[in-house]
């Protein structure tokens, strides 16, 4: 494990809207909205382009439940050309989630998506941690021969510990997927498919041990942790409808 990565644990649940409303009210007594929150009743929009190999190695490892696996994605929060994009590696090592991130401009993210070599000059925050994250992202991209596959798009309400990231709780809704069109950069196509995720995805995240109130929430609402991988869900809904015609399933 890289010392430069942030490690955490995650408990993930699929809940109803009524449960989400009740849990959110309780969470608001413990945590504060995160930096992206905008006060909207549905939350802010999160967009990610997932990269994968021609044979969908990352998809297959997630779908089969392999304990040690990773995903590559480029995350962004709006369509403005001058805002940042985040190159992210999300690893699972047994039950621990390791996440590393490098912040670059959208134009540089698009260059890297086309296979450009990494350079520290691309980094908006040039420091040792982000330089290593950028190198590792490109190394994994090259090792897999990974390219853009699917955009995953949803709305998130997020809360975190005041002044730190000891605890974080998110509510994700309306998960949609759309094909990545080669050469289109980070422009999400107008056409998308709603995933078959039936409910609100609740994630409770913590660094060392779950807070007592997290355990209490789980018991009070009868929650059972389960896997709800957004990338896999979006691939599954896109494959039968558009991939066979567009060639996205095998495009590099």
Distance, in Å, from the CA atom of 32 to the CA atom of 21, rounded to the nearest integer, reads 16
Distance, in Å, from the CA atom of 129 to the CA atom of 140, rounded to the nearest integer, reads 17
Express each pLDDT in 212-244 by its tens digit.
Answer: 999 999 999 999 999 999 999 999 999 855 554
Q: CB of 190 within 8 A of CB of 205?
A: no
Distance, in Å, from the CA atom of 198 to the CA atom of 226, rounded to the nearest integer, reads 13
Q: How would you classify residue 155: left for phi > 0, otherwise alpha for psi between -120 and 50, otherwise beta?
A: beta
User: Is 0.85 topped by the overall pTM?
Assistant: yes
Fold classification of 6-246 is mRNA Triphosphatase Cet1; Chain A (3.20.100)
Reference 175, options 211, 142, 199; nearest CA is 199
Res 82: pLDDT: 85
Express each pLDDT in 31-69 by its tens digit.
Answer: 999 988 888 888 999 999 999 999 999 999 998 888 899
Res 95: pLDDT: 78
Express each pLDDT in 66-75 by its tens digit.
Answer: 889 999 999 9
Show me where the domains of the chain are located.
6-246
């Amino acid at each position: 494990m890289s010392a430069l990565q942030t490690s955490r644990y995650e408990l993930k649940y699929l809940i109803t809207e009524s449960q989400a409303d009740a849990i959110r009210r309780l969470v608001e007594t413990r945590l504060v909205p995160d930096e992206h929150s905008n006060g909207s009743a549905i939350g802010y929009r999160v967009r990610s382009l997932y990269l994968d190999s021609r044979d969908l190695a990352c998809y297959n490892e997630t779908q089969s439940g392999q304990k040690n696996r990773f995903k590559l994605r480029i995350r962004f929060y709006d369509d403005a050309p001058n805002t940042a994009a985040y190159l992210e590696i999300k690893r699972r090592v047994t039950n621990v989630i390791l996440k590393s991130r490098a912040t670059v401009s959208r134009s540089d993210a698009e260059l890297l998506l086309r296979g450009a070599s990494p350079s520290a000059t691309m980094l908006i925050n040039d420091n040792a941690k982000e330089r290593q994250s950028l190198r590792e992202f490109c190394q994994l991209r090259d090792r897999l021969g990974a390219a853009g596959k699917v955009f995953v798009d949803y709305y998130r309400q997020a809360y975190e510990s005041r002044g730190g990231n000891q605890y974080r709780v998110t509510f994700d809704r309306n998960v949609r997927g759309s094909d990545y069109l080669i050469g289109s950069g980070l422009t999400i196509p107008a056409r998308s498919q709603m995933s078959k995720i039936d409910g609100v995805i609740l994630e409770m995240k913590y660094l060392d041990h779950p807070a007592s109130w997290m355990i209490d929430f789980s018991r009070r609402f009868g929650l059972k942790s389960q896997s709800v991988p957004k990338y896999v869900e979006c691939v599954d809904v896109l494959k039968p409808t558009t991939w066979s015609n567009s060639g996205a399933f095998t495009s590099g």
